[in-house]
């Protein structure tokens, strides 16, 4: 019921009209979610957002913990989202960006992995 309530709060008024008449119950959340997904969700746009997030990661010049952590959190969110049940098999679409993403870590590679030639593994 909390999810259904939150969903109704965040929807635009024009969109909310589509689900206003549905029962406010625990089971009722799945039905409006499915109605809205079928009408508005475009998987290609969702995937593109996560791919752009990975492409847009900044180059990390050194081992500043804050910058490394922010990089990691953004990458992790994007990868997990592309690997979710709602986007099955879409993680493979970004496999070509692995090398580019690794190159953005040149600064921490030289700081932390000097002796480890296989750091990319």
Nearest CA to 36 out of 4, 75, 68 is that of 4
**What are the tens digits of pLDDT across the range 108-118?**
765 555 556 66
Instruction: Return d(Cα 71, Cα 105) in angstroms, integer.
Output: 9
- Parse the chain into domains and list their residue ranges: 2-40, 43-112
pTM over 0.95: no
How far is residue 32's CA from residue 60's CA, in Å, rounded to a whole number? Answer: 42
* pLDDT above 70 coverage of the chain, percent: 79
State yes or no: pLDDT of 18 exceeds 80. Answer: no
- Model confidence at 48, pLDDT cuts 50, 70, 90, reads confident
């Amino acid at each position: 019921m909390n999810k259904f309530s939150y969903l109704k709060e965040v929807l635009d008024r024009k969109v909310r009209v589509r689900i206003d008449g549905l029962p406010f119950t625990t089971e009722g959340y799945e039905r409006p979610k499915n109605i809205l997904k079928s009408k508005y969700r475009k998987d290609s746009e969702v995937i593109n957002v996560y791919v752009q997030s990975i492409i847009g990661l900044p180059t990390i010049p050194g081992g500043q913990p804050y910058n490394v952590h922010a990089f990691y959190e953004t990458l992790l969110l994007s990868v997990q989202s592309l690997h979710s049940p709602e986007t099955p098999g879409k993680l493979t679409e970004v496999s070509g960006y692995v090398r580019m993403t690794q190159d953005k870590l040149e600064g921490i590679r030289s700081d932390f992995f000097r002796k480890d030639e296989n750091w990319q593994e």
